[in-house]
Structure 1
Amino acid sequence: MASRLVNNNPHLPHHQQHHKGEVKQKNVIADGRSRRVLQDIGNQVAERALQGGKKPNTEVANATLLAEGVAALGKGGDAVRKAAAVANQKKGIDKPKPETVIVISSDDESDEGKFVSRRATRKEVKVKAFSSVLSARSKLAACGLTNKPKDLEINIDAADVDNELAVVEYVDDIYNYYKLSEHEGQVEDYMDAQPDINAKMRSILVDWLSQVHRKFQLMPETLYLTINIVDRFLSKRFVSRRELQLVGISAMVIACKYEEIWAPEVNDFVFVSDNAYAREQVLVMEKSILGELEWYLTVPTPYVFLVRYVKASIPSDKEMENMVFYLAELGLMHYPTIVSYSPSVIAASAVYAARCTLGKSPIWTDTLKHHTGYSEDHLGDCAKLLVKYHSAAAESKLKAVYKKFSSPDRGGVALLAPSQNPV
């Protein structure tokens, strides 16, 4: 096929036009060599002498001087000597400075893929690519050989790298989003706007919901979401004392549908409420709650932060985990905690108070500070409040949370002495 190509471009000189069947192979080879493989972007190329089809300045100068010398041969020996002197003088002036030319390497192992050096000493110059420098720095950082001070933070996700459910690649971004959006699901002080209920009635309701939650053996996420739904609804709608328990039942029905795989039926909740409400009343209240909250149920409750912060509390064991959740549920039951602190602060304070109670040292680590975003100064007030609830739990009339965490399956952490002086 190549032999049939004809180049009859009228704009080219006659000697550059190819006659039919006369395609020069060297031109094909030259075109192939001009297409170089793009390699590492770190190889900054200077191909002034190798590309563009132009000869170096020294070769042009030598050719010119040679032509002048040949022309001078007919004029005698003196002219030849003068031409030679002029050539030597120009050669000294036009002598290029030593420079290093780096050629982009190709995939083959030909001479074109090597570094070219034009220094007077003819020594090979090794230039590292930008990506290789970054790789070397990464290896040094992984081995701890950099000049940075030793990092005291512990990678709490190292053991879950191969666990797809742990989503190690995205877990930090997820919790950053939780921190940004947690205030959307947090309520402010609304009890003054409720003419028929008070904070004590709310605590009684939460205590009863904790019993129902344990009786049905529901997921812990369900309890936290139930309380969040109750508080957000009470902050938007006036509720009579008679309907308060109905709000709690309907909120738990919604939370079960959201969190549970096998949610209890509405009739089950009617039964545990001693038939105080009919099934139709529960469904009507459920619809009212969803309409008032605009179906906004994906909110970061304290539970999502507790799971992460317990993992960051190293060393962590079952006793530590039970103590953290015990203090957190005590905080949920008391109205001042909910309206005064965000979910992440409640969770971090529960971890802080639990470490104080169990005598962990240090109380607050760099790893906890990194993952929670809070220092000890931010958590002192909330942690003291949780320890106060712990101290009064044994004597309180509301014992659902206390009995739950006094059982052997919870390690009996509620029976431990509370911390005396959380800083």
Structure 2
Amino acid sequence: MADTAVAENPAAAAETAVNELLEQSEAPEDPQTALTQPSSDNTAVATTDGDAPQKKTKKIIRRKKRPARPQVDPSTIKSEPPPQTGTIFNIWYNKWSGGDREDKYLSKTAAAGRCNVVKDSGYTRADKVTGSYFCLFFARGICPKGHECEYLHRLPTIHDLFNPNVDCFGRDKFSDYRDDMGGVGSFMRQNRTLYVGRVHVTDDIEEIVARHFQEWGQVERTRVLTSRGVAFVTYSNEANAQFAKEAMAHQSLDHNEILNVRWATVDPNPLAQKREGQRLEEQAAEAVRRALPAEFVAELEGRDPEAKKRKKIEGTFGLDGYEPSDEIWYARTKEIEGASGQQQLQIENSEQQQQLLEASHAQLAASETQQSGGGILSNSTIAALKGYSTVAKPAPANLGGSLVAYGSDDDSE
């Protein structure tokens, strides 16, 4: 055979076959791990002079995860105090506090950088620590540390869960929003909608807004008010909304405008409020479903065939072929609950009556003891005993004698 290597030494033949496979195999598309199985054309078989079985080899290629790259040159970073945006400088957080609104001139300044998720994402030191937060400077595109950063350099996912009192960057939330709906946000409400202002309106503005904001996570709904130059973007995950707010702040779309990205207020539309209520109910149902055992959930949802069969047998009410409706089941359940409640009430009443009887007997015994002068037996008991002693006892019957008088009713004897 052309693809069969024959050698006197089996080990040398196997080594030659592995080397040929390494030369002919190609790198896989998956950056993490891949399993490459050679086809019949490039499979090398090592045999000996005897009829030994053929040996197939396969190659496993493992690639290391890409490290995060620095987004800016560390030598260009200057340590300067932040501009004054409040009335009091907080030395612990290294920022100004006391101002309820951001500087209107500062909000019209373009951002220093922009995050490129495809090129900048990678592993950092935070990947080894469970529960790490995301890098705020990575979201803004100005992180100089790269893989040496202590925070995550990637997009949030639905598996990233944080305390509701902090955002995905680890910043503390407040009870109220700022006057301009900026800042970290409020822990009193789960907000997944961003307000995007200063949008340059064109014919394809909806497609432009969706294209730019879908880069930061799954978008649930996008609405553009062309008459006002305003857009509302709702994400499926709250962490993605927090990341997108920082990533798109002071950025531009396709016409070099400087966006004003803030948290959106509560939508007054009744349909939107209804959708939000349904979403919260679905989340609560999903949380309860995960907390309960799988068998119990399957029985509640009607996916357990054994539960269906049991319900069909118990629900005939003594009639063959009768299948009661849900209303009859509900009425029967209420009747059983009412009967059990009445039975419980009867048991409680009987227990109370028993306690009253025991208390009355105890009081009567105490009174008789006091009348008898403190003796062991009461006066009435002593009188009864004396009466029994005066009663004449009947004479015992004569049980002696022989058994000659013993006979039978039969005349033949």
The alignment's TM-score, normalised by the length of structure 2, stands at: 0.18
Between Structure 1 and Structure 2, the one with more helix by share is: 1
Between Structure 1 and Structure 2, the one with more strand by share is: 2
Whichever of the two has the greater Rg, that structure is: 2
